[in-house]
Amino acid sequence: MERFFKDPLKFDPDRFHPDAPKPYYCYFPFALGPRSCLGLNFAQMEAKVVMAKLLQRFDFSLVPGQSFDIQDTGTLRPKSGVICTIKHRKYKN
């Protein structure tokens, strides 16, 4: 991974900025070329809207002691989930 990205395991959302350099064929969650995903723009917009709506309404705190191992199934996902405590922002105790 170091061949393509600086500090690949560092959480750095800026590396996905539209202007950030991305080596071709190193990041293609929606595939590339003429048969790439038709839903790309929809899926990315939907993800942002859902995330914004959830973060507006709830506070998420991570349950400690999780592994963060990655499972590669074409797209990446956390192997053991991401266990959180979720509290509604309006109804906090």
Residues that bind ligand HEM (CB under 6 A): 29-31, 35, 37-39, 42-43, 75
Q: Are 79 and 67 in contact (CB under 8 A)?
A: yes
Alpha helices in 1-93 (DSSP H): 40-57
- Whole-number minimum distance, CB 44 to ligand HEM, in Å? 8
Smaller CB separation from ligand HEM, 42 or 60: 42
On the 0-12 / 13-18 / 19+ scale of CB atoms within 10 A, 36 is exposed
Smaller CB separation from ligand HEM, 8 or 29: 29
- Whole-number minimum distance, CB 84 to ligand HEM, in Å? 20
